[in-house]
Amino acid sequence: MTSSIHPTVRLNKHQQLKGIWNKRTYVIIRLIGEGARGSIYLALLGNRYVALKISQDSSVITAEVNVLKMLKKVQGQPLGPLLLDVDDAYVSQSSKLAFYVMEYIDGVPLGQWIEREGLSWMFPISFQLLSQLNQLHQLGYIYGDLKPDNILIDKRTKHARLIDVGGVTAFNRSIREYTTWYDRGYWKMGDRRAEPTYDLFAYAVCLLNMDPHVKIQKSSERDILKLLNQAKSLKPIHHVLNHAFHGKYQSALEMKKDLEHINAQQMKKPQSNYNTPSPKLNVWPETIGISSIIFIHVALFYYFIL
């Protein structure tokens, strides 16, 4: 359901927000995200950077805080940003708004990371994300608004993190928030009911969009399978993406298992088309030896999996 209140909140650089209840003061640095459900700002609490989400619709804040509290209880790797504070503040003399504060993840969006570091990172990142999605699905929820901009690669740990919980939806409910290009309803490949296959479809589109031969946002093509055939750099995983597009994976772990099998096969091959550098992505310099390529794959695989 879309709120009748427009949730965007304009804050100024260096503006101070003082929590009414917890008395913490946040200094606004800059806007780092904005969507249909609120605005996210980089802010300072003392000398610590944090991410502060604020909305004119208090129900948005309440719903997302409840999701973050639920995710916090999960053991192991965090499924979302850590919740640090929840409060209200006066943004003007007459306007009191709710906000919450999360850890600030200094990272690079998935698309930029792959473009900079190369398609070889697709496998370890996918293993991490599919494990996280599986944990979320085990709780009876889907992520919903899965897209490259909501997947950050932490610069320090090199781990993939999901950063926006605005689209998290309980199973069998209507999707709360989605982005057109990653929505199976847009492609006429299914409905907008919350189930694991919805997330896996969206992640398959994320991977498809990593191929330099395919730019979904610039294409007028409305047949996702035709775009898949254009994804020459992703040929080794075509059948995985095809399965995800058709909703054939019953769980994120099934999709992860197939990608692990393909990755193992790729590492065994002395040379393959997949290892050929893309002119646009410049995955590896032309002078790099095949032995070095194999070493990179092995190192990434063992670093993230073992």
Q: What is the tens place of the pLDDT at every residue in 25-46?
A: 999 999 998 877 899 999 999 9
Tokens of 44: 């300072």
Place of tokens 């907008």: 192
pLDDT of residue 259: 98
Per the annotation, the verdict on 199 as an active-site residue is: no
- Claim to verify: residue 191 and residue 216 sit in the same structural domain: yes
- Claim to verify: residue 37 and residue 180 sit in the same structural domain: no
Each residue of 120-139: pLDDT tens digit? Answer: 999 999 999 999 999 999 99
Each residue of 164-177: pLDDT tens digit? Answer: 999 999 999 999 89
pLDDT of residue 287: 33
pLDDT of residue 37: 82
Say if residue 303's pLDDT is above 70. Answer: no
Each residue of 79-115: pLDDT tens digit? Answer: 889 999 999 999 998 899 999 999 999 999 999 999 9
pLDDT of residue 4: 44
Tokens of 160: 């993939």
pLDDT of residue 190: 97
Residue 183 domain-assigned (yes or no): yes
Residue 5 domain-assigned (yes or no): no
The total number of residues written for the chain in this structure: 306
Say if residue 306's pLDDT is above 60. Answer: no
Residue 4 domain-assigned (yes or no): no
- Claim to verify: residue 126 and residue 204 sit in the same structural domain: yes
- Claim to verify: residue 190 and residue 278 sit in the same structural domain: yes
Say if residue 19's pLDDT is above 60. Answer: yes
- Claim to verify: residue 159 and residue 190 sit in the same structural domain: yes
pTM of the predicted model as reported, rounded to 2 decimal places? 0.84
pLDDT of residue 215: 82
pLDDT of residue 271: 56
Q: Which of 57, 145, 183, 211 is catalytic?
A: 145
Say if residue 281's pLDDT is above 90. Answer: no
Place of tokens 């993939």: 160
Torsion angle defined by CA atoms of residues 16, 21, 23 and 29, in that order, rounded to the nearest 10 degrees:
-30
Which range of residues forms the domain containing residue 212? 107-305
- Residue 99 in contact with residue 52, Cβ under 8 Å? yes
Number of domains in the chain: 2
